Amino acid sequence: MSFTLKAQEQYAKLEPNTNVQAKGLIHKLNETKDTLILQSDKKINYLYSINKDYGRDFDVYVDTTFYKFPLNKLPKGKHVLVAVQSPKRIVFVVRILKEIPKEEPIEIPSEAIVANESKKVVVTENN
């Protein structure tokens, strides 16, 4: 008798910033490893990604203390992310190990809409 165990698919891996000054920002992946969660007592101003040419792949205005970033927006590979809590910049790495399925939009079947011409109703008093 043989058993095959399939481990939960791991879409991404987080390499957190372990610097003492970064401890105020909780940065982790959710259980399914498809969403980055940022949380802090102080406001998180921005989240952006730096590419190998030192350009920005994305730049998100966060302006809150709790934020979820769906990782299916990132292609497979290494991504250096920067969370800005002015004046600090907290740098960490997210590695996308395999393509994360994107949610398909739900299609709602539409019914044909037919416009009918309104009819005039005349009300008269009966004597």
99-111 in b/e form (b: 16+ CB < 10 A) is ebeeeeeeeeeee
Tell me which DSSP letter residue 33 carries.
S
Q: CATH assignment of 12-96?
A: 2.60.40.3080
Residue 108 pLDDT > 90, yes or no? no
* Average pLDDT of every residue of the chain: 83
Q: 93: number of CA atoms within 13 Å, CB side?
A: 10
Per residue in 25-68, pLDDT (tens digit) is 999 999 999 999 999 999 999 999 988 888 888 999 999 999 99
- 4-8, 21-25, 71-75 — most confident range: 21-25
Contact 57, 36 (CB under 8 A): no
State the average pLDDT over residues 67-85.
93
